[in-house]
Amino acid sequence: MDISDEQLLTDLFRVITLMRRFFDRAMTEQGASLAQTKVLMCIKELPGTARAADIAEIMGIAPRTVTEALDGLERDGLIQRMPDREDRRVKRLTITPAGEAAVAVTEPLRRQLGAKALGALNASEREHFHAALQKLLERMANG
């Protein structure tokens, strides 16, 4: 069976889109969307030192996108922005107790959803899929 590049790419993008929707819907119902949980996890990993620029770099997204996400998280009471003691132009990010609670629920849920989705693959398929993904990642990293 000869599968075209276009068919593979179409299927890959459909899987990614459906997985994001699946994860996002379930996680949002529990307190934070997939994207919000990712940002909260970044802030949690850089306690007291995280800046919007750090989040943008870690996640590989535009600073403006991070600022919009942070605005929503702050509005929802999941993070706080605090002025840096040495440079008042800089805002340091901290996760609030409500943000901690959201991560405590949504991060394990994200893992469960991932296991459920990938549970469709047997051990051999998982190995082949992983190998194929590694080749694609290497190709994309090397241009």
pLDDT digits (tens, 9 = 90+) for 38-68: 999 999 988 778 999 999 999 999 999 999 9
Question: Which token pair is 93?
Answer: 């990010």
Between CA 112 and CA 50 the distance in angstroms is 27
Phi, psi of 93 (to 5 degrees): -105, 135
Between CA 36 and CA 103 the distance in angstroms is 9
DSSP type of residue 3: -
pLDDT digits (tens, 9 = 90+) for 5-17: 999 999 999 999 9
Is the pTM value of this prediction over 0.85? no
End-to-end CA distance of the chain: 28
Mean pLDDT of the chain: 92
Q: Which of 118, 113, 121, 119 is nearest to 22 (CA)?
A: 113
Residues paired with residue 94 on neighbouring β-strands, in sequence order: 80
pLDDT digits (tens, 9 = 90+) for 80-119: 999 988 888 889 999 999 999 999 999 999 999 999 999 9
Between CA 19 and CA 11 the distance in angstroms is 12
